[in-house]
Structure 1
Amino acid sequence: MPAPSLTAAWRPVDTGDDTVAVAERAAIGTTARVAVWPPDNLPAALAATDRVLDDLDRQASRFREDSQISWLHRRNGGLFLLSDGLAEAVRVALAAARWTGGLVDPTVGDALISLGYDRDFAAIDAAGPEPAGPPAPVPGWQSVWLDGPMLRLPAGVRLDLGATAKALGSDRAVRAAMAATARRGGVLVSLGGDLAVDGEPPIDGWPILVADEPDPGASARTQSVRLLGGAVATSSITCRQWRRAGRVVHHIVDPRTGLPADGPWRTVSAAGATCADANAAATAAIVAGHQAEEWLARARVPARLVSRDGEVRHVGGWPDADGCPVTVRPHSHVYDGASRP
């Protein structure tokens, strides 16, 4: 079967399976990957994904001067009428904060800037000699008011939607891709490893490799699982690290301290009904530290945790063996997929 033509910037990925077509490209500071079956669905799925990612970047990137959220920050507080897309992104972030009891909090923007995460990660000097700024207080998600498209943002509060926006992008893109292909077959969309699936999965489910390191070949701490529906997301303190005056810092901020989370886990992978759910749970577990396993079990979230010394723990029904399916509850705590970007 001839390979489907790709839209600009997408590169084909050879999986050795001609029943599934896969392509990837750089997007929103990470790597986007789309897999579809049947293969002739790929061009439509890629075009739909492109539209979703472009919209999301223009709505929620704090690194773009022309983004909607940057415009809000320049106004330094007030009452705003948001676009449907940004309103949804803020609503998902606030829902994640509520569900996790504030372990995930979108008001950490100033804390991240104080740590040096004030530009796109690729532009950060990873060996920066300058010290990090003092811990910036996190105002707390309760200080933000949202009613439909109306947002009240207090002066001095800078939002960072990084803990939920990328996962929301996967949720939006997989639904848009399925709509673009007339809901024929199945689609997987991954943004930096935060992935969602929709439609009919391949036989035995989508094969997923969960890795503890940025390069799966660099570590034996990997596991293959199968996903029949829902999503899997991974949060890690190892992927986005940089130095400030000799001290290693990372991008997952503990809202209780304004500093990088310093608990025992370096990587957490979690499954959920949506990617927004899965990523909120994985990030919350990193921040929760020694209470993570209890929180995940109470929330009935299947998860795989890797400690700083390499010990692997499974909770919430995450499978112990390779090749087994991950079963997720159908209820979403964070994102219902009903809104349109």
Structure 2
Amino acid sequence: MKMNLFRAMGTNVEFIIDDTKFQPISSLNDVILSAKSRMEALESRLTRFRNDSELSHINQQTGKWIAVTKDTFTILRLANEQFDLTNGVFNPFMGYVIQNLGYRVTFKDIHNQTQELFRIQYPYLPPMHSPLQLNEMTQEVRLDNGYMLDLGGIAKGWIVEQTADHLLNNGVSDFICNAGGDLVCKGTNNGQPWVVGITDPFNEDKHIFNLNVSNMCVATSGTYSRTWSKQGRKVHHIIDPFLGEPADTDIISCTVISPSLIEAEILAKAALILGTSAAQQLFDMNKQCDWIIVKISGEVEHSCN
């Protein structure tokens, strides 16, 4: 078993590899290094916390057509598609809202802020249509004035999937790529399914479930982890896209198991925002997924056997 742990995308990233099928073993370290480089390169383009990222260039030049790389164009196309498919429940255009709540720096620095850099104008009005235009011919994008992109979980999920594909394309067939609880699980662990623990949101040192997973992806969205105080009020990073405020929901944690990590990310976040009743209807339309909902009351509902 080969394990590699490093920091990226504001979280701990882990490669866990069953190396018994990889030949030659000596070159596995080179594959791991190249996979890490792929992840770091994608993060550098898609983060809003670096002024020189492609995402920041778009945000800094709203109203103008900006040429971007193929990777950035691909994830922005996916973001637009998910905005439309979810009728705006997934909304990657709330950068100003998130900044106004204090999340204008990486989470590790969020408690050290002293300045008020931006004040959003109320009432908050969600966009009815995507404010992001894409030109497939020129590979250019244009963001309307008054908006800021924050790709959040969809970028994280996509980057993890791209990194997993890099491992697969370089001969690694049995592994977990885990970025802060968002996982791509490929193949098996010595012939057995990978065992994935689902964190208890009321006690993060414990698991409420252990799942047997093979060739599937797992994503969790929760309001219990990334929280901070804003003018004496406790807030979190899961924003209701129709109110521009942290979601007021009866769900504290939602985990989705899906063939696609992006789909798992979107469904988990949408379910948490919508609440249990609407989440059940959402999952009924996505039969290929399993799910685990933990309510604020402590009650657990799930579709897993």
Q: Fold match, TM over 0.5?
A: yes
The residue number in structure 2 matching 1:298 is 285
Match of 1:266 among 240, 243, 252: 252
Distance 2:189 2:80 in 1: 31
The residue number in structure 2 matching 1:63 is 49
Q: Alignment partner of 1:262: what SS?
A: coil
Match of 2:99 among 113, 117, 135: 113
Distance 2:224 2:238 in 1: 10
The residue number in structure 1 matching 2:81 is 95
The residue number in structure 2 matching 1:159 is 149
Distance 2:192 2:44 in 1: 37
Contact 2:59 2:143 in 1 (8 A): no
Q: Alignment partner of 2:285: what SS?
A: helix
Contact 2:252 2:295 in 1 (8 A): yes
Pair 1:146-2:134 in alignment: yes
Taking structure 1 as the reference length, what is the TM-score of the superposition?
0.79
Distance 1:246 1:206 in 2: 42
Distance 1:32 1:179 in 2: 20
Tell me by how many angstroms 1:204 deviates.
Answer: 2.8
30-39 or 59-68: bigger deviation:
30-39
Contact 2:216 2:258 in 1 (8 A): yes
Contact 2:177 2:183 in 1 (8 A): yes
Contact 2:43 2:159 in 1 (8 A): no
Tell me by how many angstroms 1:140 deviates.
Answer: 5.2
The residue number in structure 2 matching 1:329 is none
Distance 1:129 1:88 in 2: 35
How do residues 177-196 of structure 1 correspond to structure 2 at under 5 angstroms?
177-180=167-170, 182-183=171-172, 185-196=173-184
How do residues 307-318 of structure 1 correspond to structure 2 at under 5 angstroms?
307-315=295-303, 318=304
Tell me by how many angstroms 1:44 deviates.
Answer: 3.4
The residue number in structure 2 matching 1:339 is none
Tell me by how many angstroms 1:227 deviates.
Answer: 1.1
Tell me by how many angstroms 1:80 deviates.
Answer: 2.1
Q: Alignment partner of 2:186: what SS?
A: strand
**Residues 249-289 of structure 1, C-alpha deviations (whole Å, 9 max, x = no match):** 00011111111111100100001111111111101111111
Tell me by how many angstroms 1:145 deviates.
Answer: 2.0
The residue number in structure 2 matching 1:86 is 72
248-257 or 297-306: bigger deviation:
297-306
Structure-2 change in CA distance of 1:127 and 1:118 (3 Å):
closer
Contact 1:129 1:245 in 2 (8 A): no
Tell me by how many angstroms 1:190 deviates.
Answer: 0.8
The residue number in structure 1 matching 2:201 is 213
Q: CA RMSD of the aligned region, Å?
A: 2.4
Tell me by how many angstroms 1:99 deviates.
Answer: 2.8
Distance 2:225 2:5 in 1: 19
Pair 1:75-2:56 in alignment: no
How do residues 252-263 of structure 1 correspond to structure 2 at under 5 angstroms?
252-263=238-249
Taking structure 2 as the reference length, what is the TM-score of the superposition?
0.88
Distance 1:208 1:44 in 2: 26
| Unaligned stretches of 5+ residues in structure 1 | 1-19, 320-341
How do residues 167-246 of structure 1 correspond to structure 2 at under 5 angstroms?
167-180=157-170, 182-183=171-172, 185-199=173-187, 202-213=190-201, 216-217=204-205, 219=206, 222-246=208-232
Contact 1:79 1:151 in 2 (8 A): yes
Tell me by how many angstroms 1:48 deviates.
Answer: 2.7
Distance 1:23 1:214 in 2: 28
Pair 1:34-2:15 in alignment: yes
Contact 1:35 1:42 in 2 (8 A): no
Contact 2:201 2:252 in 1 (8 A): no
Q: Alignment partner of 1:309: what SS?
A: coil
How do residues 126-137 of structure 1 correspond to structure 2 at under 5 angstroms?
136-137=124-125
116-125 or 30-39: bigger deviation:
30-39
Distance 1:243 1:127 in 2: 11
2:182 maps to a residue whose letter is D
